[in-house]
Amino acid sequence: MMWIGLTGGIGCGKSQAAAFFRQLGVVVIDADAVNRELIDTPNSPAISLIQNDFGKAFIDSSGSLNRAAMRELIFTQPNAKTKLEQILHPLILQRIVLLQKEINSHQNYALVELPILRANSLFLHIIQRVLLIHCDENIRIKRVMQRNSFSEQQVKNIIANQPTDAERLALADDVIDNSGSLKDLQLAVERQHIIYQSLNK
Ligand SMILES: CC(C)(COP(=O)(O)OP(=O)(O)OC[C@H]1O[C@@H](n2cnc3c(N)ncnc32)[C@H](O)[C@@H]1O)[C@@H](O)C(=O)NCCC(=O)NCCS
Ligand SMILES: Nc1ncnc2c1ncn2[C@@H]1O[C@H](COP(=O)(O)OP(=O)(O)OP(=O)(O)O)[C@@H](O)[C@H]1O
């Protein structure tokens, strides 16, 4: 089984591309969903570690992470983001490795949706290839403002704390541009699927 990392900046269309791959019968593991499981589970090991390092103010009354407070902190204070990633990324990686072992797919490849992929990323150990979804920054900002009701400044703060286009391109084996319509994206995914099916045969 070939594992492909599906990556790209905020609002580039990773989840949308993942949905089109799933329609074709491709398995997709979503690192964001794995992370949510960790931080939305009251009093989980991740929550204890976060409470130790960040204090009770970031844990809500039900015992899970106060995501809005943590979002505001990490996207304005890079040190806090690094500290949070040092807690969560090894736990996310461990869970993804378990899920990878359990996958039973008739396809020759599967995807791991990974919002954050850098040259020194732990996640590079669990994939053999990288598919980048690229999209013009102004279009991404508009789409996210519509999707999340974030202000333009909030989206720009997140973009400023993510890898740059150049960093992402340097890691990519394949690139799909999602600056066009949803139909364009679906066709691009279908073309990429045919290419991936023909690899390793
Ligand atoms: C900061 C948190 C609590 C915000 O949660 P929330 O549900 O409000 O937002 P969501 O997870 O959808 O993230 C919002 C946007 O920020 C981006 N983002 C999330 N984490 C990071 C990060 N570490 N670096 C840069 N961008 C990030 C996401 O891709 C998304 O575009 C959450 O994203 C988190 O725990 N992040 C740290 C873990 C991580 O690095 N996750 C990425 C998957 S490996
Ligand atoms: N080609 C497109 N045309 C119009 N809207 C699109 C297109 N692609 C994606 N969208 C919309 O843009 C928004 C962002 O897309 P999506 O959620 O897939 O991005 P993402 O890369 O997963 O974002 P994040 O990193 O924040 O999780 C969504 O509301 C999605 O429906």
Q: Does one domain contain both 4 and 86?
A: no
Q: Does one domain contain both 155 and 176?
A: yes
- Mean of the pLDDT values across residues 42-51? 94
- Mean of the pLDDT values across residues 98-115? 95
What's the pLDDT score for residue 105? 85
pLDDT tens figures, 156-177: 999 999 999 999 999 999 999 9
**Spatial distance between the Cα atoms of 53 and 178, rounded to a whole number of angstroms:** 38
What band does 57 get if pLDDT is binned at 50, 70 and 90?
very high
Q: Does one domain contain both 71 and 119?
A: no
- What ipTM was predicted for this assembly? 0.97
What CATH number is given to the structural domain containing 164? 3.40.50.300
CA 154 to ligand 1 center in whole angstroms: 13
16 assigned ligand-binding residue: yes
pLDDT tens figures, 130-152: 999 999 999 999 999 999 989 99
Is residue 83 lining ligand 1, measured as CB closer than 6 Å?
Answer: no
Is residue 87 lining ligand 1, measured as CB closer than 6 Å?
Answer: no
Q: Does one domain contain both 123 and 196?
A: yes
Q: Residue 181: is its pLDDT beyond 90?
A: yes
Q: How many domains does the chain have?
A: 2
- Look up the domain containing 156 and give its range: 1-27+107-201
**Crossing angle of the two packed helices 14-23 and 182-198, in degrees rounded to 10:** 60
Is residue 39 lining ligand 1, measured as CB closer than 6 Å?
Answer: yes
Q: Does one domain contain both 116 and 184?
A: yes
Q: What is the mean pLDDT of the chain?
A: 96
Q: Does one domain contain both 23 and 112?
A: yes
Beta carbons of 59 and 51 less than 8 angstroms apart = yes
Which of 75, 102, 129 is the C-terminal boundary of a domain?
A: 102
Is residue 163 lining ligand 2, measured as CB closer than 6 Å?
Answer: no
Which of 47, 70, 102 is the C-terminal boundary of a domain?
A: 102
What's the pLDDT score for residue 171? 97
Starting from the CA of residue 149, give the closest ligand.
2
Q: Does one domain contain both 113 and 80?
A: no
Tell me which DSSP letter residue 59 carries: B
What band does 201 get if pLDDT is binned at 50, 70 and 90?
low
- % residues pLDDT > 90 (the chain): 97
Is residue 147 lining ligand 2, measured as CB closer than 6 Å?
Answer: yes
The pair of three-digit structure tokens given for residue 158, joined into one six-digit string: 């997140």
- Mean of the pLDDT values across residues 60-68? 94
**Spatial distance between the Cα atoms of 100 and 91, rounded to a whole number of angstroms:** 14
- Mean of the pLDDT values across residues 107-134? 96
Is residue 168 lining ligand 2, measured as CB closer than 6 Å?
Answer: no
Which of 102, 127, 149 is the C-terminal boundary of a domain?
A: 102
Starting from the CA of residue 116, give the closest ligand.
1
183 assigned ligand-binding residue: no
The pair of three-digit structure tokens given for residue 101, joined into one six-digit string: 């072992």
- % residues pLDDT > 70 (the chain): 99
- Mean of the pLDDT values across residues 79-99? 97
CA 140 to ligand 2 center in whole angstroms: 8
Q: Does one domain contain both 112 and 144?
A: yes
What's the pLDDT score for residue 140? 98
Nearest-CA residue for atom 12 of ligand 2: 143
Q: Does one domain contain both 132 and 83?
A: no
Q: Does one domain contain both 145 and 181?
A: yes
The pair of three-digit structure tokens given for residue 184, joined into one six-digit string: 């364009």
- Mean of the pLDDT values across residues 11-35? 98
CA 54 to ligand 2 center in whole angstroms: 31
CA 3 to ligand 1 center in whole angstroms: 22
- In the three-class reduction of DSSP (H, G, I as helix; E, B as strand; rest coil), residue 145 is classed as helix
Starting from the CA of residue 66, give the closest ligand.
1
Q: Does one domain contain both 165 and 79?
A: no
Q: Does one domain contain both 6 and 56?
A: no
